[in-house]
Amino acid sequence: MAMTRASVVGGSGYTGGELLRLIEGHPELELGQATSRSKERRTVANTHPNLRGATDERFVHPDDLEPTDVLFTATPHGYTKEQLPELQELADVVVDLSGDYRLDDPAAAEEWYGEHPNTELLEEFVYGVPELHREEMKDAELIASAGCNATAGILALHPLVEHDLVDPRVVLDVKTSSSAGGAAASTASHHAERSRVVRPYAPTSHRHQAEIEQETNLDVDITVHAIEMVRGLSVTAHSYASDSLEEKDLYKAYRGTYGDEPFVRVVKSRRGSYRYPEPKVTEGTNYADVGFAVDDTGDGFTRVVSFSALDNMMKGAAGQAVQCMNIALGFPETAGLEFQGMHPV
């Protein structure tokens, strides 16, 4: 049986490397090409040493990209919005991991990501969170894989919205790792500057809040911190209910929403060191762990604290993109994504 050919545009970055790793281990895929302007003609394993022995492919220039079955675009914001018409001619399915087509409202897309030359194509994309859009993904040709912070925030809040448990205003506190900033070096990513920090780098707004608002219809305030962690992110969401809520109400909502989901685990334990979602537990996996706590304020309101933790390179990027592709092409949804993680790490 013929394998499905998958290529990656932007294969030299962290997300591109993770996509290449997943393609190499996927039972239904074979690697087509990986493009890189800066690494053209160099071996993939030279840039991604974890792939030594797995592939002898070399990076090609984007202009030399050949037709393929599936095309993943792991490029900076701006590339896909310009190149999509040409990319569609090269692939049956395009999964874009940038923010170029995540927002379905043209005004919002231009507000958060600048001028957009192909706004008429926004509505053709399926937003890439399978837990919300699985049916729309089946046979989809264009998928906009969700942002990492957005995925974590949406999954933390979705059961509360689905069961109409909280008021519209929520506050999100996000702690994210250094790999979320990509492979390009900057002054802020220099080890002497990044080490040991808990740095608020987006104190009052972040692009991903637009995705969360789009998918939850909540009014979101967000603060994002950079912390000393290579992979992973953690979201703590604060919301309020005007009705009294108990833990059993939250258990019912979260387990009702995610009970059959292959990659979302409800984490709420009374014992042990990992009673709530913890990013290190998800490292290298496509799991998102979600949890909650309830605080009766005593003044007629209930505060709900929701948690979400995931690997920003996997469920927040490459892993989720492959999960979306699996659904679109009719493969088992978990194909190539079965790694359970390690402990301790």
Q: How many angstroms separate the Cα of 97 from the Cα of each of 172, 174, 269, 322?
A: 23, 20, 34, 11
Burial 90-101 (b: 16+ CB within 10 A, else e): bbebbbbbbbbb
Using alpha carbons, select from 317, 310, 312, 265 the residue that is nearest to residue 291.
Answer: 265
Q: How many angstroms separate the Cα of 102 from the Cα of each of 151, 207, 212, 302?
A: 12, 11, 11, 33
Residue 324 catalytic?
no
- Select which of 9, 44, 142, 148 is catalytic: 148
Give dist(CA 341, CA 282) in Å, integer: 6
Give dist(CA 105, CA 111) in Å, integer: 10
Give dist(CA 333, CA 138) in Å, integer: 11
Residues forming a β-bridge with 73: 9, 96
| Active-site annotation, residues | 148
